[in-house]
Structure 1
Amino acid sequence: MSKVTKAMSKSLAHAKIVPRRSSERGHGNHGWLNSYHTFSFAQYYDPKFQNFGALRVLNEDRVAPNNGFPTHPHRDAEIFSYILSGELTHRDSMVTKKDGSTANKNDFYRMHRGDVQFTTGGTGIAHSEQNEHSKDEVHFLQIWALPWRKGLPPTYHTMTFPEDAKRNGFATIISPLKAGIKATGEEEKAAVPSIEGTIPIHADFLMGASIIAKGESASWKVGGNDAVQSKTGRKVYLHLPMRRIGAKIRLAGETELGEGDGVFVENVNAGDELFVESIGDGEAEVVVLDSN
Protein backbone atom coordinates (compact mmCIF):
# COMPACT_ATOMS: atom_id res chain seq x y z
CA MET A 1 0.00 0.00 0.00
CA SER A 2 1.27 3.48 -0.90
CA LYS A 3 0.98 6.19 1.69
CA VAL A 4 -1.40 9.16 1.66
CA THR A 5 0.52 12.42 1.89
CA LYS A 6 -0.12 16.14 1.87
CA ALA A 7 3.18 16.77 0.08
CA MET A 8 3.18 18.31 -3.36
CA SER A 9 3.36 15.90 -6.31
CA LYS A 10 6.76 15.12 -7.73
CA SER A 11 7.40 15.07 -11.45
CA LEU A 12 8.90 12.14 -13.34
CA ALA A 13 11.11 13.77 -15.96
CA HIS A 14 11.85 10.46 -17.71
CA ALA A 15 8.19 9.40 -18.00
CA LYS A 16 6.01 9.79 -21.08
CA ILE A 17 2.53 10.84 -19.92
CA VAL A 18 -0.33 10.95 -22.43
CA PRO A 19 -3.96 11.62 -21.36
CA ARG A 20 -6.88 9.60 -22.74
CA ARG A 21 -9.87 11.92 -22.45
CA SER A 22 -13.27 10.52 -21.63
CA SER A 23 -14.87 12.13 -24.67
CA GLU A 24 -12.39 10.34 -26.96
CA ARG A 25 -13.29 6.84 -25.77
CA GLY A 26 -15.49 4.47 -27.69
CA HIS A 27 -19.08 4.70 -26.53
CA GLY A 28 -22.18 2.60 -26.93
CA ASN A 29 -25.55 3.32 -25.31
CA HIS A 30 -27.83 0.33 -25.79
CA GLY A 31 -30.53 1.45 -23.39
CA TRP A 32 -29.96 -1.31 -20.87
CA LEU A 33 -26.16 -0.83 -21.13
CA ASN A 34 -24.22 2.45 -21.29
CA SER A 35 -20.59 1.55 -21.94
CA TYR A 36 -17.36 3.50 -22.54
CA HIS A 37 -14.36 1.71 -24.07
CA THR A 38 -10.76 2.83 -23.51
CA PHE A 39 -9.56 0.18 -25.97
CA SER A 40 -11.06 -1.37 -29.10
CA PHE A 41 -14.04 -3.49 -28.08
CA ALA A 42 -17.23 -4.80 -29.69
CA GLN A 43 -18.33 -2.28 -32.36
CA TYR A 44 -15.61 0.23 -31.41
CA TYR A 45 -12.30 -0.19 -33.24
CA ASP A 46 -9.29 2.10 -33.28
CA PRO A 47 -5.91 0.64 -34.30
CA LYS A 48 -4.17 3.14 -31.98
CA PHE A 49 -5.96 1.69 -28.94
CA GLN A 50 -5.66 -2.09 -28.99
CA ASN A 51 -3.84 -2.72 -25.73
CA PHE A 52 -1.27 -1.20 -23.38
CA GLY A 53 1.19 -3.85 -22.32
CA ALA A 54 -0.87 -6.74 -20.96
CA LEU A 55 -3.88 -4.44 -20.45
CA ARG A 56 -6.38 -5.27 -23.21
CA VAL A 57 -9.83 -4.00 -22.13
CA LEU A 58 -11.02 -1.22 -19.83
CA ASN A 59 -14.76 -0.72 -20.08
CA GLU A 60 -16.73 1.59 -17.80
CA ASP A 61 -20.25 0.17 -17.73
CA ARG A 62 -23.63 1.12 -16.33
CA VAL A 63 -26.31 -1.57 -16.51
CA ALA A 64 -29.99 -0.74 -15.95
CA PRO A 65 -32.10 -2.57 -13.33
CA ASN A 66 -33.32 -6.05 -14.28
CA ASN A 67 -30.87 -6.27 -17.17
CA GLY A 68 -27.43 -7.64 -17.85
CA PHE A 69 -25.16 -9.93 -19.83
CA PRO A 70 -26.63 -13.40 -20.48
CA THR A 71 -24.44 -16.50 -20.23
CA HIS A 72 -21.44 -16.15 -22.52
CA PRO A 73 -18.05 -17.88 -22.88
CA HIS A 74 -14.49 -16.66 -22.35
CA ARG A 75 -11.12 -18.18 -23.22
CA ASP A 76 -7.49 -17.21 -22.60
CA ALA A 77 -8.11 -13.89 -20.87
CA GLU A 78 -7.81 -12.62 -17.29
CA ILE A 79 -11.05 -10.72 -16.64
CA PHE A 80 -12.06 -8.78 -13.55
CA SER A 81 -14.89 -6.50 -12.45
CA TYR A 82 -14.50 -3.62 -9.98
CA ILE A 83 -17.84 -2.51 -8.53
CA LEU A 84 -18.29 1.25 -8.03
CA SER A 85 -21.98 1.34 -7.07
CA GLY A 86 -25.06 -0.86 -7.21
CA GLU A 87 -24.94 -4.64 -7.36
CA LEU A 88 -24.03 -7.23 -9.98
CA THR A 89 -25.05 -10.88 -9.77
CA HIS A 90 -22.66 -13.48 -11.17
CA ARG A 91 -23.48 -17.06 -12.15
CA ASP A 92 -20.94 -19.35 -13.80
CA SER A 93 -20.26 -22.76 -15.28
CA MET A 94 -18.01 -23.85 -12.40
CA VAL A 95 -20.26 -23.34 -9.37
CA THR A 96 -21.03 -26.66 -7.67
CA LYS A 97 -23.00 -27.46 -4.56
CA LYS A 98 -21.39 -28.94 -1.46
CA ASP A 99 -22.72 -32.38 -2.37
CA GLY A 100 -21.06 -32.18 -5.79
CA SER A 101 -24.28 -31.83 -7.77
CA THR A 102 -24.63 -29.50 -10.73
CA ALA A 103 -25.24 -25.82 -10.07
CA ASN A 104 -28.48 -24.15 -11.06
CA LYS A 105 -29.78 -20.63 -11.48
CA ASN A 106 -30.11 -20.21 -7.71
CA ASP A 107 -26.34 -20.51 -7.20
CA PHE A 108 -24.80 -17.07 -7.52
CA TYR A 109 -22.47 -14.43 -6.14
CA ARG A 110 -23.91 -10.93 -5.70
CA MET A 111 -21.26 -8.22 -5.84
CA HIS A 112 -21.51 -4.78 -4.23
CA ARG A 113 -19.28 -1.72 -3.93
CA GLY A 114 -15.77 -2.73 -2.92
CA ASP A 115 -16.07 -6.22 -4.39
CA VAL A 116 -13.77 -7.49 -7.12
CA GLN A 117 -14.44 -10.65 -9.05
CA PHE A 118 -11.70 -12.22 -11.10
CA THR A 119 -11.97 -14.81 -13.89
CA THR A 120 -9.26 -16.84 -15.58
CA GLY A 121 -10.91 -17.87 -18.85
CA GLY A 122 -8.15 -20.34 -19.70
CA THR A 123 -9.35 -23.36 -21.65
CA GLY A 124 -12.94 -22.14 -21.46
CA ILE A 125 -15.52 -20.87 -19.02
CA ALA A 126 -19.06 -19.47 -19.20
CA HIS A 127 -20.81 -16.99 -16.94
CA SER A 128 -23.56 -14.40 -16.76
CA GLU A 129 -23.58 -10.97 -15.12
CA GLN A 130 -26.95 -9.48 -14.27
CA ASN A 131 -28.22 -6.43 -12.41
CA GLU A 132 -31.12 -8.03 -10.58
CA HIS A 133 -31.92 -4.94 -8.51
CA SER A 134 -35.43 -3.62 -9.08
CA LYS A 135 -34.59 0.10 -9.37
CA ASP A 136 -30.85 0.92 -9.12
CA GLU A 137 -28.31 0.75 -11.95
CA VAL A 138 -24.93 -0.87 -11.38
CA HIS A 139 -21.75 1.04 -12.25
CA PHE A 140 -18.56 -0.97 -12.64
CA LEU A 141 -15.27 -1.31 -14.48
CA GLN A 142 -14.63 -4.46 -16.51
CA ILE A 143 -10.94 -5.03 -17.21
CA TRP A 144 -9.19 -7.69 -19.27
CA ALA A 145 -5.49 -8.58 -19.23
CA LEU A 146 -3.60 -10.87 -21.58
CA PRO A 147 -2.27 -13.96 -19.72
CA TRP A 148 1.37 -14.98 -19.88
CA ARG A 149 0.36 -18.25 -21.54
CA LYS A 150 -2.71 -19.86 -23.08
CA GLY A 151 -4.50 -23.02 -22.01
CA LEU A 152 -4.61 -22.25 -18.29
CA PRO A 153 -7.08 -24.02 -15.99
CA PRO A 154 -10.19 -21.83 -15.66
CA THR A 155 -10.92 -20.42 -12.22
CA TYR A 156 -12.62 -17.64 -10.25
CA HIS A 157 -11.66 -15.49 -7.28
CA THR A 158 -13.80 -12.98 -5.40
CA MET A 159 -12.63 -10.59 -2.69
CA THR A 160 -13.85 -7.49 -0.90
CA PHE A 161 -11.49 -4.54 -0.44
CA PRO A 162 -12.52 -2.20 2.40
CA GLU A 163 -12.96 1.53 1.86
CA ASP A 164 -10.58 2.30 4.72
CA ALA A 165 -7.66 0.62 2.99
CA LYS A 166 -8.20 2.73 -0.13
CA ARG A 167 -8.53 5.92 1.92
CA ASN A 168 -5.10 5.27 3.42
CA GLY A 169 -3.32 5.22 0.07
CA PHE A 170 -3.30 2.91 -2.93
CA ALA A 171 -4.48 -0.53 -1.88
CA THR A 172 -3.10 -3.30 -4.08
CA ILE A 173 -5.92 -5.50 -5.36
CA ILE A 174 -4.31 -7.81 -7.93
CA SER A 175 -0.73 -9.13 -8.17
CA PRO A 176 1.03 -11.86 -10.19
CA LEU A 177 0.68 -15.53 -9.23
CA LYS A 178 3.72 -16.11 -7.03
CA ALA A 179 4.62 -19.40 -8.70
CA GLY A 180 4.90 -17.65 -12.06
CA ILE A 181 4.47 -18.84 -15.61
CA LYS A 182 5.79 -22.35 -14.84
CA ALA A 183 3.36 -22.98 -11.98
CA THR A 184 2.47 -26.63 -11.36
CA GLY A 185 -1.09 -27.87 -11.08
CA GLU A 186 -0.80 -27.82 -7.30
CA GLU A 187 0.54 -24.26 -7.35
CA GLU A 188 -2.30 -23.19 -9.63
CA LYS A 189 -4.79 -24.69 -7.20
CA ALA A 190 -3.11 -23.02 -4.20
CA ALA A 191 -3.36 -19.66 -6.04
CA VAL A 192 -0.85 -17.81 -3.88
CA PRO A 193 -0.38 -14.18 -5.03
CA SER A 194 2.93 -12.31 -5.01
CA ILE A 195 1.43 -9.80 -2.56
CA GLU A 196 -0.51 -11.20 0.39
CA GLY A 197 -4.17 -10.24 0.52
CA THR A 198 -4.51 -9.71 -3.24
CA ILE A 199 -6.05 -11.71 -6.09
CA PRO A 200 -3.49 -13.67 -8.18
CA ILE A 201 -3.30 -13.01 -11.92
CA HIS A 202 -1.51 -14.92 -14.68
CA ALA A 203 0.38 -11.86 -15.92
CA ASP A 204 3.18 -9.52 -14.85
CA PHE A 205 0.48 -7.09 -13.79
CA LEU A 206 -0.76 -5.17 -10.76
CA MET A 207 -4.01 -3.38 -10.00
CA GLY A 208 -4.53 -0.87 -7.23
CA ALA A 209 -7.16 1.65 -6.15
CA SER A 210 -7.26 4.67 -3.87
CA ILE A 211 -9.98 7.01 -2.63
CA ILE A 212 -8.28 10.38 -2.20
CA ALA A 213 -10.03 13.13 -0.25
CA LYS A 214 -10.15 16.67 -1.62
CA GLY A 215 -6.79 18.36 -1.06
CA GLU A 216 -5.01 15.09 -0.24
CA SER A 217 -2.50 13.08 -2.27
CA ALA A 218 -1.47 9.46 -2.65
CA SER A 219 1.37 7.70 -4.43
CA TRP A 220 1.62 4.44 -6.36
CA LYS A 221 4.95 2.63 -6.37
CA VAL A 222 5.45 1.19 -9.85
CA GLY A 223 5.91 -2.58 -9.83
CA GLY A 224 4.98 -2.95 -6.18
CA ASN A 225 7.71 -4.08 -3.83
CA ASP A 226 9.50 -6.56 -6.13
CA ALA A 227 6.18 -8.17 -7.02
CA VAL A 228 6.84 -8.16 -10.79
CA GLN A 229 9.43 -9.75 -13.05
CA SER A 230 9.80 -6.94 -15.59
CA LYS A 231 11.47 -4.04 -13.76
CA THR A 232 12.10 -1.55 -16.56
CA GLY A 233 9.95 0.06 -19.24
CA ARG A 234 6.69 -0.61 -17.41
CA LYS A 235 3.36 0.69 -18.70
CA VAL A 236 0.97 2.18 -16.16
CA TYR A 237 -2.59 3.30 -16.89
CA LEU A 238 -4.53 5.42 -14.38
CA HIS A 239 -8.29 5.88 -14.65
CA LEU A 240 -10.66 8.24 -12.82
CA PRO A 241 -14.17 6.74 -12.99
CA MET A 242 -17.25 8.86 -13.72
CA ARG A 243 -18.86 8.89 -10.28
CA ARG A 244 -20.58 12.26 -10.95
CA ILE A 245 -19.26 13.86 -7.76
CA GLY A 246 -16.92 16.49 -9.25
CA ALA A 247 -13.69 14.54 -8.82
CA LYS A 248 -10.51 15.82 -10.47
CA ILE A 249 -6.86 14.80 -10.09
CA ARG A 250 -3.38 16.02 -10.96
CA LEU A 251 -0.73 13.44 -11.84
CA ALA A 252 3.01 14.01 -11.37
CA GLY A 253 2.46 17.70 -10.67
CA GLU A 254 1.21 18.62 -14.13
CA THR A 255 -1.35 16.40 -15.91
CA GLU A 256 -4.95 17.07 -14.85
CA LEU A 257 -7.74 14.55 -15.33
CA GLY A 258 -11.50 14.84 -14.92
CA GLU A 259 -14.03 12.09 -14.35
CA GLY A 260 -13.88 9.45 -17.07
CA ASP A 261 -10.36 10.48 -18.12
CA GLY A 262 -7.37 8.19 -18.04
CA VAL A 263 -3.67 8.52 -18.71
CA PHE A 264 -0.96 6.37 -20.31
CA VAL A 265 2.33 6.47 -18.39
CA GLU A 266 5.34 4.93 -20.16
CA ASN A 267 9.12 4.78 -19.63
CA VAL A 268 8.78 4.16 -15.91
CA ASN A 269 10.56 1.54 -13.85
CA ALA A 270 9.82 -0.52 -10.77
CA GLY A 271 10.35 1.70 -7.75
CA ASP A 272 9.26 4.93 -9.44
CA GLU A 273 6.43 6.69 -7.61
CA LEU A 274 3.40 8.22 -9.30
CA PHE A 275 1.98 11.03 -7.17
CA VAL A 276 -1.72 11.79 -7.51
CA GLU A 277 -3.38 14.89 -6.02
CA SER A 278 -7.14 15.23 -5.55
CA ILE A 279 -7.98 18.76 -6.75
CA GLY A 280 -11.71 18.57 -7.52
CA ASP A 281 -14.86 19.22 -5.53
CA GLY A 282 -15.35 15.56 -4.60
CA GLU A 283 -13.11 12.74 -3.47
CA ALA A 284 -11.21 10.99 -6.27
CA GLU A 285 -11.41 7.22 -6.66
CA VAL A 286 -8.39 6.33 -8.78
CA VAL A 287 -7.69 2.95 -10.36
CA VAL A 288 -4.16 2.06 -11.46
CA LEU A 289 -3.21 -0.77 -13.84
CA ASP A 290 0.54 -1.51 -13.85
CA SER A 291 1.75 -3.78 -16.66
CA ASN A 292 4.90 -5.08 -18.33
Structure 2
Amino acid sequence: MIQIRPSDARGYADHGWLRAKHSFSFADYYDPAEMGWGALRVINEDRVAPGSGFGRHGHRDMEIVTYILSGALEHQDSLGNGGIIRRGEVQRMSAGKGILHSEFNPSPDEETHLLQIWIEPVVQGTKASYEQQPMAIDAMRGRWRLVASPDGADGSTTIGQDARLWASMLVSGEPLSYAIAAGRLAYVHVVSGALNLNGQVLRAGDGAKIADETDLRFQADEAAEILLFDLPPNV
Protein backbone atom coordinates (compact mmCIF):
# COMPACT_ATOMS: atom_id res chain seq x y z
CA MET A 1 0.00 0.00 0.00
CA ILE A 2 1.22 3.45 -0.95
CA GLN A 3 -1.12 6.22 0.20
CA ILE A 4 -0.29 9.67 -1.16
CA ARG A 5 -0.59 12.69 1.15
CA PRO A 6 -0.84 15.68 -1.26
CA SER A 7 1.02 18.85 -0.35
CA ASP A 8 -2.11 21.00 -0.55
CA ALA A 9 -3.88 18.72 1.96
CA ARG A 10 -1.38 19.62 4.68
CA GLY A 11 -2.29 21.92 7.54
CA TYR A 12 -1.15 25.54 7.19
CA ALA A 13 -0.46 28.32 9.67
CA ASP A 14 0.66 31.90 9.03
CA HIS A 15 1.90 33.73 12.12
CA GLY A 16 3.55 36.54 10.19
CA TRP A 17 7.08 35.73 11.34
CA LEU A 18 6.43 32.01 10.69
CA ARG A 19 4.70 30.24 7.82
CA ALA A 20 4.30 26.52 8.45
CA LYS A 21 2.89 23.50 6.63
CA HIS A 22 2.06 20.46 8.75
CA SER A 23 2.06 16.96 7.27
CA PHE A 24 0.44 15.67 10.48
CA SER A 25 -1.71 17.20 13.24
CA PHE A 26 0.23 19.88 15.09
CA ALA A 27 -0.67 22.89 17.26
CA ASP A 28 -3.96 24.37 15.99
CA TYR A 29 -4.12 22.00 13.01
CA TYR A 30 -5.95 18.81 13.95
CA ASP A 31 -7.04 15.95 11.72
CA PRO A 32 -7.79 12.66 13.52
CA ALA A 33 -6.82 10.78 10.34
CA GLU A 34 -3.39 12.46 10.26
CA MET A 35 -1.79 11.90 13.67
CA GLY A 36 1.49 10.56 12.28
CA TRP A 37 2.67 7.35 10.70
CA GLY A 38 4.06 4.72 13.04
CA ALA A 39 6.76 6.30 15.20
CA LEU A 40 6.89 9.36 12.92
CA ARG A 41 4.83 12.06 14.61
CA VAL A 42 5.66 15.42 12.97
CA ILE A 43 6.97 16.82 9.69
CA ASN A 44 6.65 20.60 9.71
CA GLU A 45 7.91 22.68 6.81
CA ASP A 46 8.74 26.04 8.39
CA ARG A 47 9.73 29.37 6.91
CA VAL A 48 11.08 31.72 9.58
CA ALA A 49 11.36 35.44 8.85
CA PRO A 50 14.72 37.24 9.34
CA GLY A 51 15.48 38.06 12.96
CA SER A 52 12.56 35.97 14.23
CA GLY A 53 12.16 32.56 15.78
CA PHE A 54 10.85 30.26 18.45
CA GLY A 55 11.35 31.65 21.96
CA ARG A 56 12.44 29.49 24.86
CA HIS A 57 10.02 26.59 25.32
CA GLY A 58 10.06 22.99 26.49
CA HIS A 59 9.70 19.45 25.12
CA ARG A 60 9.59 15.97 26.60
CA ASP A 61 10.01 12.44 25.26
CA MET A 62 10.56 13.18 21.59
CA GLU A 63 13.43 12.79 19.13
CA ILE A 64 13.54 16.10 17.20
CA VAL A 65 15.57 16.38 13.99
CA THR A 66 16.04 19.70 12.20
CA TYR A 67 16.83 19.55 8.47
CA ILE A 68 17.82 22.92 6.99
CA LEU A 69 16.82 23.66 3.39
CA SER A 70 18.16 27.22 3.22
CA GLY A 71 19.29 29.94 5.58
CA ALA A 72 20.43 29.34 9.15
CA LEU A 73 19.02 28.62 12.60
CA GLU A 74 20.59 29.58 15.93
CA HIS A 75 20.06 27.12 18.80
CA GLN A 76 20.29 27.61 22.58
CA ASP A 77 19.16 25.11 25.23
CA SER A 78 19.01 24.43 28.95
CA LEU A 79 21.87 21.91 28.69
CA GLY A 80 24.22 24.73 27.73
CA ASN A 81 24.41 23.91 24.04
CA GLY A 82 24.46 26.70 21.49
CA GLY A 83 25.37 27.20 17.86
CA ILE A 84 24.16 27.95 14.36
CA ILE A 85 23.02 25.23 11.99
CA ARG A 86 23.05 25.70 8.20
CA ARG A 87 22.36 23.74 5.05
CA GLY A 88 24.69 20.75 5.05
CA GLU A 89 24.32 20.11 8.78
CA VAL A 90 21.81 18.16 10.85
CA GLN A 91 20.61 18.90 14.37
CA ARG A 92 19.16 16.31 16.76
CA MET A 93 17.62 17.05 20.14
CA SER A 94 16.48 14.17 22.33
CA ALA A 95 14.02 15.84 24.69
CA GLY A 96 13.96 12.93 27.12
CA LYS A 97 12.71 13.84 30.60
CA GLY A 98 12.71 17.53 29.64
CA ILE A 99 14.64 20.25 27.83
CA LEU A 100 14.13 23.98 27.19
CA HIS A 101 15.38 25.52 23.96
CA SER A 102 15.05 28.42 21.55
CA GLU A 103 15.57 28.53 17.78
CA PHE A 104 16.08 31.83 15.93
CA ASN A 105 16.89 32.97 12.43
CA PRO A 106 20.07 35.03 12.99
CA SER A 107 20.01 36.68 9.56
CA PRO A 108 18.79 40.29 9.21
CA ASP A 109 17.58 39.74 5.66
CA GLU A 110 17.38 36.03 4.70
CA GLU A 111 14.46 33.70 5.44
CA THR A 112 15.22 30.32 7.03
CA HIS A 113 13.53 27.34 5.38
CA LEU A 114 13.60 24.07 7.30
CA LEU A 115 11.92 20.79 8.09
CA GLN A 116 11.28 19.97 11.74
CA ILE A 117 10.83 16.24 12.30
CA TRP A 118 9.59 14.51 15.46
CA ILE A 119 10.00 10.78 16.07
CA GLU A 120 8.63 9.06 19.16
CA PRO A 121 11.34 7.33 21.23
CA VAL A 122 11.26 3.70 22.37
CA VAL A 123 11.93 4.65 25.99
CA GLN A 124 10.50 7.70 27.77
CA GLY A 125 12.12 9.67 30.57
CA THR A 126 15.71 9.30 29.38
CA LYS A 127 18.41 11.94 29.81
CA ALA A 128 18.01 14.85 27.39
CA SER A 129 20.81 15.34 24.86
CA TYR A 130 21.77 17.37 21.80
CA GLU A 131 23.88 16.77 18.70
CA GLN A 132 24.85 18.89 15.71
CA GLN A 133 27.02 17.53 12.92
CA PRO A 134 27.88 18.00 9.24
CA MET A 135 25.97 16.23 6.50
CA ALA A 136 27.75 16.58 3.17
CA ILE A 137 25.30 17.43 0.40
CA ASP A 138 27.46 15.64 -2.19
CA ALA A 139 26.96 12.38 -0.27
CA MET A 140 23.24 12.59 -1.12
CA ARG A 141 23.62 12.88 -4.88
CA GLY A 142 22.27 9.83 -6.68
CA ARG A 143 22.29 7.64 -3.56
CA TRP A 144 20.89 7.33 -0.07
CA ARG A 145 22.63 9.23 2.71
CA LEU A 146 21.79 8.11 6.26
CA VAL A 147 20.75 11.17 8.28
CA ALA A 148 19.51 9.60 11.54
CA SER A 149 19.62 6.09 12.97
CA PRO A 150 19.50 4.23 16.30
CA ASP A 151 23.23 3.44 16.24
CA GLY A 152 24.81 6.49 14.56
CA ALA A 153 25.90 4.37 11.58
CA ASP A 154 27.78 5.98 8.70
CA GLY A 155 28.13 9.30 10.51
CA SER A 156 24.40 9.75 11.07
CA THR A 157 22.92 11.43 14.13
CA THR A 158 21.71 9.03 16.84
CA ILE A 159 18.03 8.74 17.80
CA GLY A 160 16.34 6.60 20.45
CA GLN A 161 14.11 4.67 18.08
CA ASP A 162 14.54 1.78 15.63
CA ALA A 163 13.99 4.17 12.74
CA ARG A 164 16.25 5.42 9.97
CA LEU A 165 15.98 8.67 8.06
CA TRP A 166 17.57 8.71 4.62
CA ALA A 167 18.02 11.61 2.17
CA SER A 168 18.81 11.71 -1.52
CA MET A 169 19.07 14.16 -4.41
CA LEU A 170 18.34 12.96 -7.94
CA VAL A 171 18.77 14.58 -11.33
CA SER A 172 16.01 14.35 -13.93
CA GLY A 173 15.54 10.76 -15.12
CA GLU A 174 17.76 9.26 -12.42
CA PRO A 175 16.48 6.04 -10.74
CA LEU A 176 16.95 4.92 -7.13
CA SER A 177 15.58 1.97 -5.18
CA TYR A 178 15.07 1.01 -1.55
CA ALA A 179 14.26 -2.37 0.01
CA ILE A 180 12.01 -2.45 3.09
CA ALA A 181 12.21 -5.38 5.51
CA ALA A 182 9.00 -7.36 5.85
CA GLY A 183 6.55 -5.84 8.33
CA ARG A 184 8.19 -2.43 8.56
CA LEU A 185 6.57 0.86 7.59
CA ALA A 186 8.00 3.66 5.47
CA TYR A 187 7.19 7.28 4.76
CA VAL A 188 8.43 9.42 1.87
CA HIS A 189 8.51 13.22 1.89
CA VAL A 190 9.37 15.09 -1.31
CA VAL A 191 11.43 18.14 -0.39
CA SER A 192 11.62 19.56 -3.91
CA GLY A 193 11.11 18.59 -7.53
CA ALA A 194 8.97 15.70 -8.76
CA LEU A 195 9.38 11.95 -9.00
CA ASN A 196 7.68 8.66 -9.72
CA LEU A 197 7.33 6.15 -6.86
CA ASN A 198 6.19 2.68 -7.93
CA GLY A 199 4.08 4.22 -10.69
CA GLN A 200 2.67 7.12 -8.66
CA VAL A 201 3.70 10.74 -9.17
CA LEU A 202 4.80 12.83 -6.19
CA ARG A 203 5.67 16.53 -6.24
CA ALA A 204 7.27 18.97 -3.81
CA GLY A 205 5.58 18.81 -0.41
CA ASP A 206 3.80 15.53 -1.11
CA GLY A 207 4.18 12.60 1.25
CA ALA A 208 3.46 8.88 0.98
CA LYS A 209 2.48 6.43 3.72
CA ILE A 210 3.84 2.99 2.89
CA ALA A 211 2.94 -0.41 4.36
CA ASP A 212 3.14 -4.01 3.11
CA GLU A 213 5.70 -3.08 0.46
CA THR A 214 9.20 -4.52 0.13
CA ASP A 215 10.60 -2.73 -2.92
CA LEU A 216 10.42 1.01 -3.56
CA ARG A 217 11.43 2.24 -7.01
CA PHE A 218 12.01 5.96 -7.51
CA GLN A 219 12.67 7.86 -10.72
CA ALA A 220 13.04 11.62 -10.83
CA ASP A 221 10.74 13.39 -13.30
CA GLU A 222 12.82 16.51 -12.62
CA ALA A 223 15.65 17.29 -10.21
CA ALA A 224 14.34 16.16 -6.81
CA GLU A 225 15.32 15.96 -3.15
CA ILE A 226 13.59 13.32 -1.04
CA LEU A 227 13.49 12.02 2.52
CA LEU A 228 12.70 8.40 3.31
CA PHE A 229 11.77 7.17 6.79
CA ASP A 230 12.24 3.45 7.48
CA LEU A 231 10.05 2.84 10.53
CA PRO A 232 9.34 -0.04 12.92
CA PRO A 233 6.03 -1.90 12.65
CA ASN A 234 3.03 -0.54 14.50
CA VAL A 235 2.56 -2.41 17.78
* TM bracket (short chain): over 0.9
Question: How many residues are matched?
Answer: 232
The answer on 1:142 being equivalent to 2:92 is no
Q: CA deviation at 1:45?
A: 0.4
- Matched residue SS, 2:79: coil
Q: Is the 8 A contact 2:142 2:174 kept in 1?
A: no
> Unpaired segments of 5 or more residues in structure 2?
none
> Unpaired segments of 5 or more residues in structure 1?
1-15, 97-107, 178-192, 223-230
Q: Which residue of 1 aligns with 2:204?
A: 259
Q: Which residue of 1 aligns with 2:140?
A: 166
1:25 aligned to which of 2, 7, 10: 10
Q: Which residue of 2 aligns with 1:133?
A: 107
Match runs of 1:55-66 below 5 Å: 55-66=40-51
Q: CA deviation at 1:168?
A: 3.4
Q: CA deviation at 1:126?
A: 0.8
- Matched residue SS, 1:196: helix
Q: Is the 8 A contact 1:92 1:126 kept in 2?
A: yes
The answer on 1:52 being equivalent to 2:37 is yes
Cα distance in 2 for residues equivalent to 1:202 and 1:145:
9
The answer on 1:291 being equivalent to 2:231 is yes
Match runs of 1:1-292 below 5 Å: 16-95=1-80, 108-177=82-151, 193=152, 195-222=153-180, 231-241=181-191, 243=192, 247-252=193-198, 254-268=199-213, 272-280=214-222, 283-292=223-232
- Matched residue SS, 1:144: strand
Question: Which of the pair is proportionally richer in strand?
Answer: 2
Letter of the 1:221 counterpart = A
Higher relative contact order (CA 8 A, sep 6+): 1
Cα distance in 1 for residues equivalent to 2:178 and 2:46:
25
4+ runs of 1 displaced by more than 4 Å? none
- Matched residue SS, 2:44: strand
Higher alpha-carbon Rg: 1
Q: CA deviation at 1:66?
A: 0.5
Root-mean-square deviation (CA), in Å?
1.2
